[in-house]
Amino acid sequence: MSARPSSKPSPVSWAKASRLRKPDTFCWTALPRRSNHDKMWMRNEKLRRIIGCSRIARALTFGLQNALQMRLLSGHKDPRTLSSLRHAIRGTRSLLSADEAFILHEIASAQTTLPGDFAEFGVYEGASAALLCSVKNDRTLHLFDTFEGLPESVRSGESGVFHKGQFIGTLPHVKRKLAGCRNVQFHPGLFPGSTSGLEDLRFSFVHLDVDLHDATLAGLDYFYPRLVPGGIILTHDFSIIPGVAQAFRTFFADRPERIIEFPTTQAMIIRHPA
């Protein structure tokens, strides 16, 4: 009688599997222990990492939440606005919820009464940029991103959730997403180096969605002094990524603007007259 084959993979097959699954290694590596007394589930690093890495986890959590929000909005909001939201998010892996997309749409729409360009720092796959295109009229929209995913420079407190190359949206992909949108300027590269030659621009609306503390602070350093009076900077992830909130609180600690939080993860500031 022949020996029953072992079900245990050989070391060689394990090594091969490891090489094949290398991009997923980060997603399932155990997080270091931290003395964190914050029990808010949306701030849980392990959960955010899994949702960011796994399409299935995203569909079962964020996807269901987003579908419910859109359903509730459809009961009392303009169908044309909701159609714009669906069109913008369709075909992307955006983590912008329906409620957040609605807030972005409405605030950006209101800013078209002011002079100044629109800008977004942190474009990913172009969902929020497409939403801005639907409301900006003829003004210029400036899009800043590496278009190669997150940069290597993540702080020690952020390395448990983010890694280099995460949230990549390539420039050709975003350009296809925004095909037909006029007056869009792409500024690929590391920020703020990608702002070279743009020192004289003025902005009425800026959307930040960069996840990292240092990138958020760099965005505030560049955009804040270039906001027209009444101009707005709206950020994503303020309440769930500590580095984003820390950057805002540090930057505005000695400035007159107050940080305004929404029931979503978003927050914004309105530029006071100089």
Using CA atoms, how far apart are residues 269 and 274, in angstroms rounded to an integer?
14
User: Whole-angstrom Cα distance, residue 174 to residue 184?
Assistant: 11
At 29, the pLDDT band (50, 70, 90 cuts) reads: low
Class of the domain covering 40-270: alpha beta
Cβ atoms of 209 and 128 within 8 Å: the answer is: yes
For position 18, what pLDDT does the model report? 37
pTM comes to 0.79
Give the largest CA-CA distance in the chain: 89
169 within 8 A of 123, measured Cβ to Cβ: yes
Nearest to 108 by CA among 147, 137, 73: 137
pLDDT band at 8 (very low <50, low <70, confident <90, very high): very low
Domain ranges of the chain: 40-270
111-156 per-position pLDDT tens digit = 999 999 999 999 999 999 999 999 999 999 999 998 885 666 555 4
34: number of Cβ within 10 Å: 10
Closest CA relative to residue 64, chosen from 31, 108, 97, 36: 97
- Of 85-94, 102-111, 115-124, 179-188, give the lowest mean pLDDT range: 85-94
Residue closest to 169 by CA, chosen among 202, 129, 208, 139? 129
Above 80 in pLDDT, residue 23? no
